[in-house]
Amino acid sequence: ENYSTQKLSSLINVFNSIVLGLGLSATFWLPAFFEKQFVQTEKAILPLDNFVNQFVRIEEFFKLTWNGFVISHEIGIIHLVLTVLAIISCLVLFKKQRKLSLFIFFGLLLLFISLWMQTIQSLNLWLLFSPLQFIQFPWRFAGISIFLIALLGGSSVQLIKSRKSKL
């Protein structure tokens, strides 16, 4: 196969993945979209003072204790190790494995954006872009963060394995 055929095949796979994701989540977003006039959305948004109190303090990401009664916002030791591994592998192996390193770099960028969206420093964006307020709790971005860390950890291991196999 030539390069353009591989590129087209990759684009088709991405498109199919998006369609599959939208299809699997359609039970949520189709009714939300088509029946919006029947839903009292103003009651779904917390008042501003409650909304602002839901942001995560940066130090809470790294607090390694949990008392069992309060929601923990910590990232976790293994997730921190995987993030550091992703950063190191991206920097060290960038010239040898450029494509995978760029994927890891883009994933790290998305990770830091999702972490930032959980902190009070992103408040202006939450106020400027009002549809974000339907999420209600900024710490719901933690699901995205944890998924990205797992993806980056696996990609980093793959990057290191491919590098070792070439030695």
**Full-model pTM:** 0.68
Question: CA-CA-CA-CA torsion for 8, 14, 15, 18, nearest 10 degrees?
Answer: 180
CA distance to 17, 20, 43, 76, 100, per residue, from 14 (Å): 5, 10, 36, 30, 16
pLDDT digits (tens, 9 = 90+) for 85-123: 888 888 887 777 788 788 888 989 999 999 999 998 988
Please give the pLDDT value at position 11.
85
H helical segments located in 3-97:
3-24, 26-34, 48-52, 58-62, 77-92
* pLDDT tops 90 at residue 68: no
- Determine contact, residues 79/144, Cβ cutoff 8 Å: no
Please give the pLDDT value at position 111.
92
pLDDT digits (tens, 9 = 90+) for 7-43: 888 888 888 888 998 888 888 778 877 877 776 666 6
Closest to 73 (Cα-Cα) out of 106, 129, 120: 120
**What is the C-alpha to C-alpha distance for residues 83 and 124, in angstroms, rounded to an integer?**
27
